[in-house]
Structure formats: C-alpha cells, structure tokens
Amino acid sequence: MTTSHKCISCEKEETVVPLVSLTFSKIPAWICTQCLPTLIHNPAQLESKFRDMDIENPPKPELN
C-alpha cells in the first residue's frame, strides 16, 4: 500500500493533480495548484483545513 499525498483543500490525490508541499505549524501539508490561489488570496478559508487536518503519519521527533 502506497501513501499518496492529498490536497488539504479539495483532497485530490497527487495522481490526479500536481501538489505543492508546504508546512504549517511544522506540519507538512500538500496543496494542489488549483487550490494554491485560494491559499494565497483567501487563507482564512483554508485555516480550518489546517487545524482540522488529519495527520496520517505524524512526524516523530528524532532522538539521536
């Protein structure tokens, strides 16, 4: 099973649309190019998406 990234806004997968990586509050996220303008011009619309974002694979702190 492969993990494919999804747009945080429209939830399209990277196999369907090009995704751009970003981080928010140190959380890695992905957004597609179609939703990117929304993030730029209306970030408030996506704020809840970030906060409600379900982290499937939370990054583990590296304790070396």
Half-sphere exposure of 1 (CA within 13 A, CB side): 1
The per-residue DSSP string of 28-55 comes to: EEEEETTTHHHHHH-HHHHHHHHHH---
Under the binding rule (CB under 5 A), the answer on residue 29 touching Zn ion is: no
CA-based end-to-end distance of the chain: 29
Under the binding rule (CB under 5 A), the answer on residue 22 touching Zn ion is: no
Q: Site size for Zn ion, by CB under 5 A?
A: 5
Q: Which is nearer to Zn ion, 43 or 64 (CB)?
A: 43
| Residue of 19, 29, 32, 46 that binds Zn ion (CB under 5 A) | 32
User: What is the binding site for Zn ion (CB under 5 A)?
Assistant: 7, 9-10, 32, 35
